[in-house]
Amino acid sequence: MSRRIQIASPCSANWDRMDGDDRVRHCPECNLDVYNFSAMTGAEIDRIVSDQRGRVCARFYQRADGTMLTQDCPVGVRAMLRRASRAAAAVFAALVSVGPAMAQRTPKSFGNHLIQIQENRAWSLNLIIEDVLSAGIPHARVTLTNAASGRTFEADTDSGGQLSLSDLSPGDYDLTVTCIGFATKHERVSIPQTTNMTLKLEVAVLMGEVVEIPRHRLPIISRVMAGLRRVV
């Protein structure tokens, strides 16, 4: 594909409710055809953008670097297959919480008194963040907020997509996972009922009016995306 395009005006219309096929559907809200660029080759996308006079609406899957995934992206496809193979071949050690689970112990009798022994300890939440091919996602930002106290824990996954958040008190937490190129994931977690989790992130799907980025702006866009990856 000779063009570099981006979504200029994001659209919230529902693709699944539009009439058409996997390549193009008609949007009744704006009375325009919406093209699925990720189901097309680069040459087809170039032709559509060149032939259109006026607005062009499209949807596509976005890679983690902000670029579009098209049907004829062999490098992207091979990379996804390599990640899937590594994930399938890797043997993950079982993630277990440190120490025994909190439980009621049998009361001990001392004379006429009963003493109930209870544990007061911090817990850990062990996470694995994966894509839809079960490959670990590195540098995903995880935010965990205690619903009662508002205390927040924040960290990034390692190169294998794994992360452990410690010093957690029992209670309900709001979990948010974000990563460029993937849809944001929200979950409600209860500690200590849940101490090990595997979450899958869907590839980000963008839809809306597209514009072509001038070639002289590409280095600037690349620097901006690199800066965003470091921040996120």
pLDDT in tens, 135-180: 899 999 999 999 999 999 999 999 999 999 999 999 999 999 998 7
pLDDT at 155: 95
What whole-number distance in Å separates Cα of residue 24 and Cα of residue 36?
Answer: 6
57-111 pLDDT, tens per residue?
A: 998 887 666 677 787 765 554 454 455 444 444 433 333 333 344 344 444 444 4
* Exposure string over 151-176, b if 16+ CB within 10 A, otherwise e: eebeeebeebbbbebeebeeeebebe
> Domain segments of the chain: what residues?
5-63+204-231, 122-202
27-70 pLDDT, tens per residue?
A: 998 898 999 988 899 899 989 888 877 788 998 887 666 677 78
Q: Which fold has domain 122-202?
A: Immunoglobulin-like (2.60.40)
Q: Is the pTM of this model over 0.75?
A: no
Q: Which amino acid would we find at residue 100? A: P
Cα→Cα distances 20→32, 34, 157, Å:
12, 9, 39
The token pair at 43 is: 């040459």
Q: Is 193 exposed, middle or buried (0-12, 13-18, 19+ CB in 10 A)?
A: exposed
What whole-number distance in Å separates Cα of residue 48 and Cα of residue 130?
Answer: 34
The token pair at 148 is: 């009662």
What whole-number distance in Å separates Cα of residue 104 and Cα of residue 95?
Answer: 23
The token pair at 92 is: 């993950």
Q: Which residues contact 63 (CB under 8 A, 6 or more apart)?
A: 69, 76, 181, 203
Return the biggest CA–CA distance within the chain.
Answer: 92
Q: Which residues contact 19 (CB under 8 A, 6 or more apart)?
A: 25, 26
The token pair at 122 is: 């911090």
Mean local confidence (pLDDT), 200-211: 82
Question: Is 80 exceeded by the pLDDT of residue 127?
Answer: yes
pLDDT at 96: 36
Strands (E), 11-81: 19-20, 24-27, 32-36, 57-62, 68-69
